[in-house]
Structure formats: C-alpha cells, structure tokens
Structure 1
Amino acid sequence: MAVSTAVVSGVGARHPRATLAVVASGTLLMIMAFTLPLATIVPTAASLDADTAGRTWILSSMSIGLAAALLTAGAVADDLGRRRTFVIGLVVLAVGGLVCAVVSDPLSFVLARVVQGVGGAAVTAASLGILAHAFAPGPARVAASGTWGAALGAGIAIGPVVAGLCDVWVSWRLAYAVLAVAAVATVVLALRYLDESRAPRRRRLDRWGGLLIAGGLSCLLAGLVESREPDRGALATGLFVAAGVLLVGFVVAERRGRAPMLDLALLRHRPFVAASVAAFATGMGVIALFSFMAIFLDTGFGIGALGAGVLLLSWSATSVAASLLARRLPARWSGRAQLAAGLLGVSIGQALLAGVGPGTSWWRFVPALVLAGIASGVLNAALGREAVASVPAGREAMGSGANNTARYVGSAIGVTVVAVVVDAHGPTQQDLYDGWNVAALVTAAFSLVGALVVVACRTRPAP
C-alpha cells in the first residue's frame, strides 16, 4: 500500500488505531531503555570494570541526554515534522543500544547511554504531538492519553524483567541488542502507518535557545552526579556554576528572541504550570524512590535483580491497568484534579514503604506498591493529556518536551537526594534500612508538595 507523505496540521489520522499502537510502542521502548540498567547494574559494572563513580554515571547518563534534548526535540518536531522526529529518535535509540551491547569500557557505555537519551527525547516529545494530531480533544484523546500512560508503566514493568532474564540466560548485553532490533521494527511500522504533521505555521529554529538549554541542563545533571562523590566537590561546584550561567542565558535568549523555543509567558499560564509542577514532582517523588528500590531490595533483602523486578511489577503493572481505565473517570474530574489526586496517592504509597527493618518480609511492600501503582496510572494518563492541552495549538510536541523535561530533571534531582540520604546513614545493613525509611518519607513529601501546588493552580473563572 502506498504511503502518503502529505503534511497535515488538522486533527485526524488515516490509521488511528495503528497510530496509537506505534506511538505506544515507541514510548514503551524508550522507557525500557531507561530502566534496563536498574536491574543489572551489578553485572554491568563488573563487566565494564566500572568503579563507584562509573556505576553512578551508568545509572544517570540517559537522564542527561533526555533532559538536555527534550525541549529542543519538541520544538523541532512541531516545526520540521513529528513523524520524522519520532523515526529519527528510534534510529538513534537503536544505534545507542547496539553500542551499549558491544562496548567494553565504562566511558563508551556512558556516552552511548547519553545518545540513547537524545533518541529517547525525540521519541517522547514527538509521540504526544502525533497523538494530539491523530485524536480530537474529548473522549478519543482521553483514551489515547491513557494508552500512552499505560505504555510508560509497561516500560517500567518490562524493562527490568527483560534485563534480568537476558542476564540469567545469556548476558546483560543481550537486552540492549533486543531493544535495538525492536526499535528498528517500530521504525518500519512508523513509516508505514504514521501521518506526517507539524504546526500550521513554521517558525525559525531557536538555535541559541537549544544550545543554552541543552548545555545548562547537561551541566546541572552532571553536577548532581559528581556531587555524590566526596572527592569531586570542586568539579561539581564548577558544573553547577556553569549550569546557572547557561540557564540564565537561556532565559535571556527566550525573552529577546523573535521565535523562542519556550514562550516564557506560559509560566504565567496556570494549566501549564500545574502540568509542569506535577511532572517535576513525579520525577522527584515516585520515580526517584523506585529507581533506587531495585538496588535496595537486592542489597537489603537479597532477592536478586530479577526478583526485585518481579516485585516492582505490583506497582508498574497496576499503573498500566489504571492508565487504561482512567478514561472511565467522571468527566467532571478535571485534569488538574486528576494530577493532584495522583500525586496524593503516590505520596501515601511512598510513605507506606517506610518503617521497614531486618525482620520485614518483602510482602510488606506489595500493598503500598499497588496503591502507588493505581495513583501513578491516573497521574501518567493525566500528564500526557495536560502536557498538550496546556500549550497553544500547533505546539503540542513542544508542550510534551517541556513537560517531560520537568519529569526527568526532577528524577535526576530526586535520585541524588535519595542516594545522599541513604549514604548519610552509614555503611551497615541497619543503616541501609534507616536511610531507606527516611528517603521514602522525603520523596513522599516531594509528591505531597507537588499535589498542593497543583491544587493552588486553580484557573480563575472568566468575568
């Protein structure tokens, strides 16, 4: 069947179901790539001969690529084509995966993970823009956003399990090769079924804005990683200073630019602020804590990486079901209300994960993980929808990029806070439990504050 290459800007798609399936598959693969090292960090670090600092970089490197490129990728997708950006992102994700599968030193692996992050940023930013074009506002878009949110949860569920199984059967490297093959297959489907779309009016590419935001966020996240090493305080400080200078330069450039990548007037638009704060709190809260949880379960309870991944299914699999069912929530529940309720639910779930010790059974975690999973599903579905609804028409991919930038910057900060809190309690087994209990409460507080801010972003009624 011939593939139409027409570029359209209105709402509608020739293959809506196939469009949703392809976009969800790309989102699934991006999240799988993000979570692969969480379950296999011990054998990965041993195989690459990575020290403690190298291990930290392995876990954090894809976040740097994601955060640095998401906003730029969204702007590029809106102006140059969302399908094109989505496909290029999948190709970059596949190339990075193949490099990860064959390299033998930590530096090459970290650089390949940064490349994967850049590819994942293009996939993530373009995906919501594609869905916004394919599905009109209303029940159809609500259902599509729920599926997109379910893909996030499914990636978190499947990634660690696939990595653990590959490590048991062959090697952790096989997981990255499998991911690359799946990404190439998704490229073929995307070229066949996705329509090209872009903003009705093309704007000049904000090169300075893109360079400044990428450099600033890269320095910020690199500084957070280096700050976790006690002998690298000077380097971390220098990176933070550079981040501050570059990010201030970004604000200045956006204020003075004729076609800014991010219209700073959006920071006064309450729906945009609510969605961005919710994404940031999601990263600092539930994502940060659960990114560390696999290591905690392995070290504190000795259930192994694969066992930890299976236990975390009670959260991630539940979030998949909740995202798919979120469309059945009453129509009178606004997106802001769903964001606040989701953050409150994950906050309670995180708090319930505290209070553990040497005699605690791992079954103790299941009720809290299920509660957090239900809330995460509602939260992910609402975030996908509000990210594109809170920006002007035609800038949906930019809205997705901005929202996910907030999510991954928040997760990078949150993971650093969790690591610092746990390490501060000392090296013994009891210290590990004590540190976990405090970290669970701290991240629960992050989620709760996010919920309160979202509630405060009530839109004023029209006069």
Structure 2
Amino acid sequence: MASRTGAVLVASGGATLLALFVFTAPLSIVPAVAGGLGAGAVATSWILSSMSLGLAVALLPAGAVGDDFGRRRVFVAGALVTAVGSVLCAVAPGPLTFIGGRVVEGLGSAALIACGLAVLGPAFPDAAGRARATGLWGACLGAGIAIGPLAGAALNHDWRVLYVVITVLSLGVAVLGWVLLEESVSARARTVDLPGALLLGGGLAALLAALTEGRQGWTSPLELTLVAAAVVLLAAFFAHQNSAGGGMLDLALFRRPALVSATAGAFVAGAGVTALMAFLGTMLENGLAVSPLTAALVVLGWSATSVVSALLTRRLPATLSGGARLSAGFVVVAAGLVPLAFVTPASAPAALLPGLVVAGFGTGVVNASLGREAVASVPPHRAGMGSGINNTSRYVGAALGVTVVSVLAVHGTPTPATLTAGWNTAVLVGIAVSLLGAAAIAALTVRAKRATAAVTRAAVEHIRPLGNGS
C-alpha cells in the first residue's frame, strides 16, 4: 500500500511541478522571445497571458471529465497535449503560432493540475495522509515556480531549446502517469456536459482576452465587446448548470463553507502574491537594471521558501482548520510584501530578499492548505471538480491580478523611476487584497463553526428526551 501511495505522489507531484515549470519558464525571457518572434506590444501581452487562457478555460472541464471518464486517462492526455503545445512553441515562425502553442500548453497543463490533485483524494482517504500528500503537492507547485524562471534565464540565448526540453519532459510525465497511476472514476453515470463546457470556455476566454486587451485601453469597441460577451456567456453557463443539475459545476457544492473558503483563497492567492511575483522579474530587469538570471535568483527567494513552507505545513496541529491556515498564511504574505512597496531604481536586489522570504513562507502555507481543502471540501466522487474549481479560481485571479499590476506599473513609455513607483502602488494593492482575503476567510470559518455547533446542539437536544424515556 505504501508503494501504491508513493507512486501516486510521484506522478501527481511530477505533473504539478511540470505544469508550473511550463507556466513560469518564459517569464524571465519575455524580451528575448518577443524580439525573436518580432512581437509588438499587444502580441507581447498575449505571450504573457496565453497560457493562463488555456488553463482557465480547461481546468474545470478537465476535472469534471476526469471524474466521469477516468482521471488517469485525462492526466495522460493532458501531458501529451502539453507536449504538442511545446512543439508549436519551439518551431513557431511568428508570435501567432507561439501564442497558439502556449494556449495548447495551458489546455494540457490544466488536465495535469486538475487530475494530478484529484488522484490524491482516493489514494489518501485519511486526514493525516491527505495533509502530507497535499503538502508535497503544494511544495511541487512552488518548485515548478522556482525552477521555471531559472531554466528560462539559463536558456535565454536560445529560448527554443527550452520548449524542446519541455516537450521531452511532458512525454516523460505521460509515461509516468500511465505506469504509476491506477484508473479512478466517480460512481455516477458517465456524461459530457458539452453545452456547459462551451459556455464556460467561451466566457472565460472572453474574460481573459478582455483583461489582456485592457492593458492597452478599456474603451475600444473590441474591449467592450469582449466584456459583454464574457458577462453573457458566464451568466448563461451558471443558468445552464442550475437547470442541468451540475453537469460541469455542481452549484450545490457551494453550500459547503470549506469550498467557498478554498475558492476565495485560491482567487486571492492568484490576484495578490502570484500576480506580483509574475511581474517582479520584469520590474527587476527594467527598473533595477539587473540580468534575467539575477532577477530569477531574486524571485527564487520567494518560491524556494514556499516549497519548504508547504512541506512543513503538515506539522501544523490537525485541529487547526483549513480556513484558519489560509487566513494566517495570507496575513504572513501581506507582512512579507510590505518591504517590497518601497523600491527605487537605486535599490539593491538583495534588499528585497527578507520580504520575499516572509511572503514565501506564507505562500507555502496557503498552497498546501488550498490543495488539502480542494479535495477535502467536496465528496470523493467530485475530487476532480473540486480541484478544477480551486485552480480555475486561482488562474482567473492571477489573470486579473497581472492586468492590474501591469496597468499600475506601466504608464506610457516606462522609465526606471515610473516603473518602480508603479510597482510600489501595485504592491500596496496586493497587500490589501491579501488582508481582505484573510478577513473574509476568517469570517467564513467562524460562520461554519457556529453552524456546526448549532447542528450538534440540535442533535443532542433531540436525543436527550429519548435517553430519558428509555
């Protein structure tokens, strides 16, 4: 049994590490990629955002389809799709093909993340085992974020080689999943909610496209059309799910406070610290005039600390609820971000490290706690859906957060002074988002405890008369 659970951990952790590696690797080499492809300002924005589009569109459908048709099957398919997207990026003659490849990578990585987390539920049914497993999952998430920018910076001279490496790694993960995982499905009849998938995919695609195009301005006809399309399609999706009884998204699950807390926490993590860290490399290179490798090493202070912190989270008392862990984690993140809000062009990169380490510690707690809550807050047969909900919320939040950070940090023709000043403002917004998230999750946790206590008292009062009469 130990070897079985170990195999699941290897496959799940490896897939999560790969997906985040693919997501973050280009962040440190955007100028080289854009220059090599002849990309303009709009195309460069899409180079940054295109994989987020694929992730956000496919995470929830991939989790739901994995529940119904086999998590291992969808996991392996996701690795193969990621490999196809990476080949497109490696051979791209221009920005359009590269952006398409990044979207395909996002689609494949969505299946890896959703099903890679979902397989932990059946393999670790006990709370203690699940805490250890999701702690490792959170550490692999942080490790992918840490390794990606370093690998990108190391291959800055020939970025196409990076995508050849990703192709090989993706094929390796496909083999790993096929060999190590056992098939697991939900007990319900197999169904495909094609209308729901199309409405959700179209709505999220329009939303993320609006956020990306919005960096150039918010009043163009294209921008207004995308916003309107997102509102209409997403409203239609929720109406369809309500009438269809939860084909793609079971709305009844949101009656569970733990799922609401986890979903809110994932959004806050994406919109706050993740968005800031995605932009930090750009700020360091253009605002403080450091090399891509130096920028990646500075960001490593945050991401590497989150790996260690996620592994240590399993040592927290079992009595500490998921909501309490999330709230505490976000408070620590906010505290770590404070020193990052006072950057000038003359700042030394090393001066940011203490704050990044503190923020990384809080991020690791958040990542591990979100992984645990994503599978523990839904019934076992909905593990893929729970994972999809959680991670969709994270990447939609990240897309929104990156847009806000970009708008705040970049004004007209940026200079080191305006870029660092805008970054400082963006950090203050990130601190506020983290603290508001901590407060909201704490309020949900208190409400859930009161509801549980009320149910327990009612049960005791119902049983007491029966006991007196016996």
1:38 aligned residue: 27
Residue pair 2:9, 2:133 contacting (<8 A) in 1 also: yes
- The structural deviation recorded for 1:339 is 0.8
Q: Percent identity?
A: 46
Matching of residues 229-378 of structure 1 within 5 Å: 229-230=216-217, 233-378=220-365
Q: Quick one: which amino acid aligns to residue 166 of structure 1?
A: L
Q: Which residue of 2 aligns with 1:141?
A: 130
1:170-181 aligned at under 5 Å gives the runs 171-181=158-168
Task: Determine whether 1:380 maps to 2:374.
Answer: no
**3-state secondary structure, aligned to 1:358:** coil
Of residues 1, 4, 20 in structure 1, which corresponds to 2:9? 20
**8 Å contact 2:11–2:116 — kept in the other structure?**
no
Q: CA deviation at 1:232?
A: 7.0
Name the stretch that deviates more: 421-430 or 253-262: 421-430
What are the superposed Cα offsets for residues 405-431 of structure 1, whole Å, 9 maximum, x if unpaired? 000000000000001111248633211
Instruction: Please name the residue that 2:36 is paired with.
Output: 47
Q: Between 343-352 and 278-287, report the one with greater CA deviation.
A: 343-352
1:224 and 2:207 matched: no
> 2:60, 2:127 → 1: CA distance?
26
Deviations 1:105-156 (A, max 9, x none): 0011001110111001111110111111111222111111011000110000
- Counterpart of 2:48 in structure 1 is 59
Q: Are the structure 2 counterparts of residues 241 and 188 from structure 1 closer, same or farther at C-alpha, using a change threshold of 3 Å?
A: same
| Residue aligned with 1:331, SS | coil
Q: Report the 3-state secondary structure (helix = DSSP H, G, I; strand = E; otherwise coil) of the residue aligned with 1:228.
A: helix
In the alignment, does 2:117 pair up with 1:128? yes
Once the two structures are TM-superposed, the CA of residue 231 in structure 1 deviates from its matched residue by 8.5
Using the size of structure 2 for normalisation, the TM-score is: 0.93
**Mapped contact 1:14–1:195 kept (Cα < 8 A):** no
Give the superposed CA RMSD. 1.4
TM norm structure 1: 0.95
Alignment-derived partner of residue 5 in structure 1:
none
Unmatched segments (≥5 aa) in structure 2: 458-470
* Equivalent position to 1:189, from 148, 172, 176: 176
**Cα drift, residue 363 of structure 1:** 1.3
* Aligned twin of 1:8: none
Asked which structure has the greater CA Rg, the reply is: 2
| CA distance, structure 1, for counterparts of residue 147 and residue 5 of structure 2 | 25
SS of the equivalent of 2:259 reads: helix
Does the alignment pair 1:392 with 2:403?
no
Q: Is the 8 A contact 2:203 2:230 kept in 1?
A: yes
- What corresponds to 2:97 in structure 1? 108
Confirm whether residue 29 of structure 1 aligns to residue 18 of structure 2: yes
Mapping for residues 83-122 of structure 1, pairs under 5 Å: 83-122=72-111
The whole-number CA distance in structure 2 between the counterparts of 1:346 and 1:426 is 31
* Consecutive unaligned residues in structure 1, runs of 5 or more: 1-11
Farther off after superposition, 366-375 or 181-190: 181-190
Provide runs of 4+ in structure 1 moved above 6 Å: none
Q: Which has the higher helix share?
A: 2
CA contact (8 A) 2:218 2:224 kept: no
Q: Which range is displaced more, 401-410 or 323-332?
A: 323-332
Match of 2:427 in 1: 440
- Work out whether residues 354 and 440 of structure 1, in 8 Å CA contact, stay in contact via their aligned partners in 2: yes
Distance 2:439 2:9 in 1: 33
